[in-house]
Structure 1
């Protein structure tokens, strides 16, 4: 199903400042397409001091739901008609749902989404020890969530001890009804213990706890500071059962690398981003009695792959290489593994021209065919095509203009193949116009010597294909681009 807009299209969006680099439209417009829901999701940048006006305007324009991001997650609360208990306890809202009387009810799907992401990774907090690294804005709701989920003990570590203590005290106070500190909330029925520590004292933690789940809530490791971790002592990581980094640019931070090396289960904050969006989408499409759209695991996996490609700046995966390099077979495998659409540029040109490539060469010459290739790639760039695996014709990257366009279009992978391997694969193929005539092996060597260095210049990743199974090549590409797939 495709997105469409008409007089019945519902509008949803994101309010915050800034919002230009948000990936939320990718999540929600993808979910709308998958579920056949007639909605459109767009970002709205709200100027400082205008959050109240933004909410009034959304009500007047009949906007059906909103996400809220920094700096307005707390500032928006006075302008809401209702607030969910979890969001009230956390003191922050990130999702607004239209009420029957025309206002908005606030929810916090950041934390419910985080809990769902953990469970997707097989992590349950009940009875567990959790270590929170950092005491910034996100640490408080994470600590609150851990108590909601009945963790046994929660440690908050921060460079400044006083800030860690503030988080602990705020979470304890949030457990009191109407500010009455003598009336503890039911969230402490499990007697969740909270303790603040200076980050420099982390070795004391290692003496107290054998295993724990660590949640990295600082900005350390965020691009461009990708070679740093808030703690780099390998002894710390040897105690990890699992590690979550709320940073997701890059997907594998130094913190996650160290955790993985120690044998801990790891995942990035991208899963939290995804699941908070899914929780919001389901809330917006609920009928008030718990019925409505439920996003399936297959749909979740498909959107996650799109997010991973976006983070890695690989909106499309483009295979280049000489004839017989395996582009057609490998591109099909990548398409299946990553749930991406597939395009063979030669086939696309044949479909548009309604004649074969051989006929294009014979009637109009090679230069006309090359112009068709440039026009096709230009169109894909202008149309902002995403989520596609492209298998290129062997000569397409030879034009400099095409190489520039390919860089805009996605990640280019060169399938490098030896002349002898190429010959064995194509020697009986009579549809190759450039190999017509005598001495095909000589032509292969000549063309490869001219094209090889250009393929390498255009490539973001080079994969040698000789002696490799196509599936192994596809997996090598996925790993080389830092992507994930469901085996």
Structure 2
């Protein structure tokens, strides 16, 4: 890491808790590889004191800041401008401090997903129909981005039906009338999708070995994406691979969303491969 001096631009991640985050390691690796005099660090803060922290950043040597749970929605109240996608999504994970001192909100979660699907999965977003399992933070970002970039149809389901209903309503109102609610446990619409998404978190952590999609609904003719990347292949992906389908995990989504943040903060092309290798190294050490 470059030596910190008076010209070092700071970036901090605002959220709580943050002990599970890999962001600082990946970002600082990217800064070093790109020769940027920047440093990324963590600030654990929740909604209660978010306004104080954001206001302090305005008067310090920051290029901007990142945002995660539980602050992605609340932070909008303290920003001066919002990117169109960020405004439609109603959440921000990336804030740029302009030379004039304005704080501008963006959301790179969806961008990271779209770039991964296009670059790593060779998926043409506007030519496909999607079935998404999970409507929380990841599912909301993924489905909103799909609608923004022209998805034909998006079926959404969640064990928390109020969540999936709300996401469907928001997409149809703010993006395009392409989303349809599917009751929990109803996978009858999966056969109509060309791409099946797991944004539920089932398959990682305490749910390793579990698949939210019964095997009888899996088809070799579909593309399967899981937002998880640790493990590299969840049971969802293993079952799809066994059926002969094309699969992709969430490593690229995490990578490209972080790379997009660097683009916004610096205006420079991020060192994608150095950042990818850092993520792989981190995972292999776990």
Name the CA shift for 1:159/1:166 in 2 (closer, same or farther; >3 Å).
Answer: same
Which position in structure 1 is the counterpart of 2:275? 303
Name the CA shift for 1:59/1:71 in 2 (closer, same or farther; >3 Å).
Answer: same
Any idea what the Cα deviations from partners look like across 1:125-174, whole Å, max 9, x if unmatched?
Answer: 11211111122233233222111111111111223544432221121122
Any idea what the Cα deviations from partners look like across 1:104-140, whole Å, max 9, x if unmatched?
Answer: 1000011111111111121121121111112223323
Q: Does 1:220 align with 2:210?
A: no
Within a 5 Å distance, the mapping from 1:441-452 to structure 2 comes to: none
SS of equivalent residue, structure 2 residue 125: coil
**What 5-or-longer segments of structure 2 have no aligned partner?**
none
SS of equivalent residue, structure 2 residue 62: coil
Within a 5 Å distance, the mapping from 1:10-159 to structure 2 comes to: 10-121=9-120, 122-159=122-159
CA distance in 2: counterparts of 1:240 and 1:223, whole angstroms: 29
What's the C-alpha RMSD, in Å, of the aligned pairs? Answer: 1.8
Q: Does 1:193 align with 2:165?
A: no
Q: 1:262 aligns with which of 221, 243, 253?
A: 243
SS of equivalent residue, structure 2 residue 5: coil
CA distance in 2: counterparts of 1:69 and 1:143, whole angstroms: 18
CA distance in 2: counterparts of 1:163 and 1:42, whole angstroms: 32
**TM-score, scaled to structure 1:** 0.56
- Verify the 8 A CA contact 2:138 2:227 in the aligned structure 1: no
SS of equivalent residue, structure 2 residue 101: coil
Q: Which of structure 1's runs of 4+ aligned residues deviate more than 6 A?
A: none
Give how far 1:47 is off. 4.2
CA distance in 2: counterparts of 1:161 and 1:81, whole angstroms: 34
Structure ranking higher on relative contact order (CA contacts 8 Å, 6+ apart) = 2
- How many residues are treated as equivalent by the alignment? 285
Any idea what the Cα deviations from partners look like across 1:391-417, whole Å, max 9, x if unmatched?
Answer: xxxxxxxxxxxxxxxxxxxxxxxxxxx
Name the CA shift for 1:59/1:261 in 2 (closer, same or farther; >3 Å).
Answer: same
Q: Does 1:285 align with 2:266?
A: yes
Q: Does 1:170 align with 2:170?
A: yes
- Verify the 8 A CA contact 2:47 2:71 in the aligned structure 1: no
CA distance in 1: counterparts of 2:178 and 2:59, whole angstroms: 46
- Verify the 8 A CA contact 2:8 2:61 in the aligned structure 1: no
SS of equivalent residue, structure 1 residue 224: helix
Q: Find the structure with the greater CA-based Rg.
A: 1
Which position in structure 2 is the counterpart of 1:202? 187
CA distance in 1: counterparts of 2:163 and 2:209, whole angstroms: 25
Give how far 1:312 is off. 2.9
CA distance in 1: counterparts of 2:21 and 2:158, whole angstroms: 28
**What 5-or-longer segments of structure 1 have no aligned partner?**
176-187, 287-292, 315-487
Any idea what the Cα deviations from partners look like across 1:423-465, whole Å, max 9, x if unmatched?
Answer: xxxxxxxxxxxxxxxxxxxxxxxxxxxxxxxxxxxxxxxxxxx
Give how far 1:244 is off. 1.3
SS of equivalent residue, structure 1 residue 123: coil
Give how far 1:16 is off. 0.6
Which position in structure 2 is the counterpart of 1:241? 222
Name the CA shift for 1:153/1:239 in 2 (closer, same or farther; >3 Å).
Answer: farther
